[in-house]
Amino acid sequence: MSCAQDMTPRRCLERVSLMANERVAEGVGLAVFAAPGVARDIRSGQFVHLRIAEGASFILRRPFSVHRAAGDRIEVLYQVLGVGTRALSLAERGAEMDLIGPLGTGWSIPEGVAHALLVCGGLGAAPLGMLAEELAGRGVAVSVAQGAPTAERLVARELFSAAARRHEIATDDGSAGQRGFVTLRSEALMDADAPDVVYTCGPEPMQRIVAAQAARRGIACQVSLERLMACGVGACLSCVVSTVHGQRRACVDGPVFDAAEILWDRDESPEHEG
Amino acid sequence: MSHDVDMRVRIGSLELRNPVMTASGTFGSGREYADFVDLALLGAVVTKGVGLEPWPGNPAPRIAETDSGMLNSIGLQNPGVEAFCAADLAWLRTQDVPVVVNVIGHTVAEYAAVAARLSREDGVDALEVNISCPNVDEGGMAFGTSCAAAAEVTRAVREVTTLPVIVKLSPNVGEIAPIARAVTDEGADAVSLINTLLGMAIDTRTFRTVLARGVGGLSGPAIKPVALRMVWEVASAVAVPIIGMGGIMTGEDAAEFMLAGASAVAVGTANFVDPTATTKVADGLRRFCAERGIAAVRELTGAART
Ligand SMILES: Cc1cc2nc3c(=O)[nH]c(=O)nc-3n(C[C@H](O)[C@H](O)[C@H](O)COP(=O)(O)OP(=O)(O)OC[C@H]3O[C@@H](n4cnc5c(N)ncnc54)[C@H](O)[C@@H]3O)c2cc1C
Ligand SMILES: Cc1cc2nc3c(=O)[nH]c(=O)nc-3n(C[C@H](O)[C@H](O)[C@H](O)COP(=O)(O)O)c2cc1C
Ligand code: FES
């Protein structure tokens, strides 16, 4: 709607239409939007702030990572949790919504990276999709450690298998991969592959463990944190993250942060169930 | 249909291009929304609350969505007046829009110190004295719920500045008109209302309050009828201009506030719903007047009758 046509990517408010929306795992949907402005400018790890429906019960937009972007389309992988994501799961092809994006600071790929490890738990896979493809496209060796409660709740399996040289899975019940936490796989892969950088997203306690594993080995680690967000553009200070540099806003300074900067335990993060 | 509605309004000595301002704390310092809104199309930018020293704000979660509204307990997080002048104000000065700075303090002396400091800076067009934040233990709303305290803060700020002084009133009082009178008696050039209404939400799954602080301030469409009623009451109690706010989402909502007695309006929570809400409200208000053959928007002020 009001996307700038110049070269500097700006955040814009864009009217988008739903091209496809299907269930891809237990309680998880994949929504594909025609969103030419955002699709053109989005970088991996950034997010969009989606207005799922209008009306009195939807005051706030909902933040979602962009899982993949191709051509004029973006993909959003979402877990059905509450009123907003339930409404999204019921939206049909052709539905019109609007979003603001691209928002936030995404993943950074340090110069000279040869090997990267991606560690995700549950829907933490969402913001790592674009990154996995981007790294693979640049010839970086990618390993993925992926966790979920059960095999039925694993998402983006094909994407990661295609992009990664190694893709290891852990589930709570052992229905796929190793039984147990993904942090067992991440630690093993750090030792086996000696990656130059670790990227992680998922429940905050998991990210914290992964960050500690990386720190012990002297490996740089980036985390992607979730906070409740009202504006999404840095104005309201709803989404603060405590860091060694003071309070930072997850919506502009993050959601991706250098793990070494985070003061864990200071804030309560919203967590996905399961 | 005539399109040349005169949209100019006056708040004391401050002349605004149109009556639509931003509500403090919902628009950052304007820069955050500059990708979406041409600030020159706004009546004024009202900044977030600025204190003497940095304030850390409250623990998270700081917001909760409620029916037709939201709760916040941000707690006036701000970098302090020096950092504000160096960064936010320096940027705002380059913009073609009047700037109103929202002033906060833990004590009367702090309010006065911030007001004095801002009065020495170029590019500040008015001060909005926030005696109505429900999200801090010390200062904030404590000054807005008693006539004596409200008067004392206003007097202290009035003594140190020649800028227009707007006092922002709390709705968390039994009667708002006496507070409005108390601050105008001390020389407030205008009053703005309402700040958020104290409220709370509880997570029935965990039996815990949704906000880390327990309680917070309710804003958005849910509070509009309360806000309108208070603007109406204050309009009949004081002669100074009123800046009305609380749940304004459309031009028609803004017209309602003006009809109730406001000379200007502010848009808050609506920015989160639609980052272009401010200019849409201004356009809608202009259309509202044009469609009714109203030549100047200021004719709306106080035109409602029972
Ligand atoms: C930067 C960022 C990226 C995200 N990316 C994804 C993604 O790719 N896929 C995905 O499934 N989820 C993602 N989330 C979480 C997603 O925003 C929430 O699950 C969603 O807002 C829940 O909305 P609801 O109406 O269904 O839930 P409700 O619980 O009914 O929502 C009530 C309110 O709480 C907020 N909320 C609830 N849970 C969260 C949460 N975990 N994080 C932030 N806000 C929350 C909602 O936005 C809403 O304002 C992301 C969150 C952030 C901050
Ligand atoms: C997130 C948030 C932060 C706010 N911060 C301030 C503030 O710093 N100072 C202030 O005077 N009012 C603050 N307010 C109150 C608004 O300026 C406004 O008075 C109130 O939200 C009602 O308007 P609305 O319903 O349009 O949002 C804040 C409101 C919100 C929602
Ligand atoms: S969501 Fe408003 S500052 Fe981050």
- Rounded mean pLDDT, B25-46: 96
Q: Are strands B190-193 and B126-130 parallel, antiparallel or unpaired?
A: unpaired
pLDDT band at A173 (very low <50, low <70, confident <90, very high): very high
Do you find a cis peptide bond into B61, omega within 30 degrees of 0?
yes
Contacts of residue B66 in chain A, CB cutoff 8 Å?
59
**Homologous superfamily, domain A12-103:** Translation factors (2.40.30.10)
Locate tokens 């190694």: which residue? A166
Q: Any idea where the domains of chain A sit in the sequence? A: 12-103, 115-261
Q: Is the pLDDT of residue A266 over 80?
A: no
**A33 CB under 6 A from ligand 1?**
no
In ligand 3, the atom with minimum distance to the C-alpha of B32 is 3
Q: What is the pLDDT of residue A274?
A: 34
Handedness of CA A192, A197, A203, A208 (dihedral sign): positive
**Range in A54-68, A95-109, A173-187, A236-250 the model is least confident about:** A54-68
Q: Is the pLDDT of residue B134 over 80?
A: no
Q: Does A110 touch chain B (CB under 8 A)?
A: no
Contacts of residue B63 in chain A, CB cutoff 8 Å?
60, 228, 230, 236, 238
Cβ distance of A12 and B36 shorter than 8 Å: yes
Q: Of B33, B57, B61, which has the smallest distance from its Cβ to A235's Cβ?
A: B33
Q: Any idea where the domains of chain B sit in the sequence? A: 9-69+76-196+220-300
Q: What is the pLDDT of residue A243?
A: 94
Nearest CA to ligand 1 atom 6: A64
Each residue's pLDDT tens digit, B274-298: 999 999 999 999 999 999 999 999 9
CA of B223 to the centre of ligand 3 (A): 22
Q: What is the pLDDT of residue B140?
A: 66
Running DSSP on this structure, what letter comes out for residue A4? Answer: -
Q: What is the pLDDT of residue B3?
A: 62
Greater confidence, B248 or A271?
Answer: B248
Q: What is the pLDDT of residue A88?
A: 96
**8 A C-beta contact, residue A168 and residue A186:** no
Query: Across the strands, what pairs with B70?
Result: B65, B219
Q: What is the pLDDT of residue A56?
A: 66
- Rounded mean pLDDT, A86-110: 96
**Chain centroid, CA A230 distance in Å:** 18
- Rounded mean pLDDT, B76-99: 95
Mean pLDDT score of chain A: 92
- Rounded mean pLDDT, A145-152: 95
Find, in chain B, the residue whose alpha carbon is nearest to that of A10.
B35
CA–CA gap between residue A143 and residue A16 (Å, rounded) = 34
Residue range B9-69+76-196+220-300 forms a domain whose CATH class is alpha beta
AA identity, residue A251: C
Cβ distance of A2 and B57 shorter than 8 Å: no
pLDDT band at B89 (very low <50, low <70, confident <90, very high): very high
| Among the four given CATH numbers 3.40.50.80, 3.40.50.300, 3.30.390.10, 3.10.310.10, the one describing domain A115-261 | 3.40.50.80
Among A273, A203, A204, A270, residue whose Cα is nearest residue A238: A270
Q: What is the pLDDT of residue A3?
A: 46
**8 A C-beta contact, residue A62 and residue A81:** no
pLDDT band at B144 (very low <50, low <70, confident <90, very high): confident
CA of A12 to the centre of ligand 1 (A): 20
In ligand 2, the atom with minimum distance to the C-alpha of B72 is 1
Q: Does B32 touch chain A (CB under 8 A)?
A: yes
